[in-house]
Amino acid sequence: MRGTKGQSLVEFALVVPILLLLLIGVAELGRAWMAQNVVTGAAREAVRIAAVNSLSTTTDNTWAGRAQAIMTSANLTGPAPQLVDGGQWVSVTVTCDFTPAVAGFIPGLDGPIALTSTTTMRKEY
C-alpha cells in the first residue's frame, strides 16, 4: 500500500477527458436532433400552407415566409426553402446549416452540417 498514494489522481486524470468527450458529444447530438426537428416542422407547416391554398412559387410566398419564421425563431440559418409543384402534389424542402458549438474540439465536427427535410402533401382544392 506504500506506492498507491497518487493512484486515484492518475486514474481520474485518465478518465476525465473521455468522460468530457462523451458528455459534450451527447449535448451536441441533442442540439442537432432539436435542429432537425425544427427543420422538419418548418417543412411541414410550409407545405401545409401551400397545399391548402393551392399556392405555387410564382403566385404567393406565404409558405416560404412561414418556414423562414420558424427557422429564425430557433436561430437557424440556411438557404431559402424550395417548393416543387407536381400537379396534385406539392413538396417543400427546407435546409439549414447546423454548426456545432464545439467545432474542432470533437474530431469530425469541424464545420457546418447540412440538415434537410422534405415534406410532400396532396393539394386540397
State what percent of residues in the chain have pLDDT above 90.
43
CA distance 97 to 78: 6
Average pLDDT over residues 60-73: 88
Considering its fold, how many domains does the chain have in total? 1
Average pLDDT over residues 15-39: 91
pLDDT in tens, 71-101: 999 999 889 899 998 888 999 999 999 888 8
Among 4-8, 15-19, 80-84, where is mean pLDDT lowest? 4-8
Spell out the long-range contacts of 58-65 with Cβ–Cβ below 8 A and sequence spacing 24 or more.
Answer: 63/92
Burial of 92 (0-12, 13-18, 19+ CB in 10 A): buried
Task: Please give the model's pTM, rounded to 2 decimal places.
Answer: 0.80
* Domain membership of residue 47 as a residue range: 2-122
